[in-house]
């Protein structure tokens, strides 16, 4: 990847496996699933989750993780990935 270039992709991340976890651990598990998904698909080690994604996951409390979430994943020139919500959602 050239210097100054960034790569951007849009994914629908399935979070249904978070519902296997105990009630009080669903959103923390959803966060781990999202982070691992981004690491695997963008082939990096460091993933940052934006405040808007964090708020969407915690919107219904610790018990009410969404079944899926649509995100925009951006890799910058330092190979750091940031996960954002897709605009309009």
- pLDDT over 80 (residue 1): no
Residue 85 reports pLDDT greater than 70: yes
What is the architecture, at CATH level 2, of domain 9-85? Roll (3.10)
pLDDT digits (tens, 9 = 90+) for 4-45: 568 999 999 999 999 999 999 999 999 999 999 999 999 999
Residue spans per domain, the chain? 9-85
Q: What is the dihedral of CA 40, 49, 46, 30, to 10 degrees?
A: -50
- The answer to whether the beta carbons of residues 6 and 81 sit under 8 Å apart is no
Residue with tokens 């940052």: 48
What pLDDT is attached to residue 5?
67
Greatest Cα pair distance, the chain, in angstroms, is 44
Report d(CA 44, CA 58) in Å as an integer: 25
Kindly state the average pLDDT of the residues 45-59.
Answer: 96
Please state, in angstroms and as integers, the Cα–Cα distance from residue 51 to each residue in 4, 5, 20, 78, 82, following that order.
Answer: 24, 24, 25, 20, 10
């Amino acid at each position: 990847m050239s210097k100054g270039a960034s790569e951007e992709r849009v994914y629908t991340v399935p979070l249904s496996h978070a519902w296997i976890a105990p009630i009080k651990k669903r959103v923390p598990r959803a966060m781990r699933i999202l982070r691992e998904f981004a690491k695997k698909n963008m082939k990096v080690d460091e993933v940052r989750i934006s405040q808007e994604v964090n708020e969407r996951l915690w919107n219904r409390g610790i018990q009410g993780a969404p079944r899926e979430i649509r995100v925009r994943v951006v890799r910058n020139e330092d190979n750091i990935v940031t996960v954002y919500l897709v605009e309009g959602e």
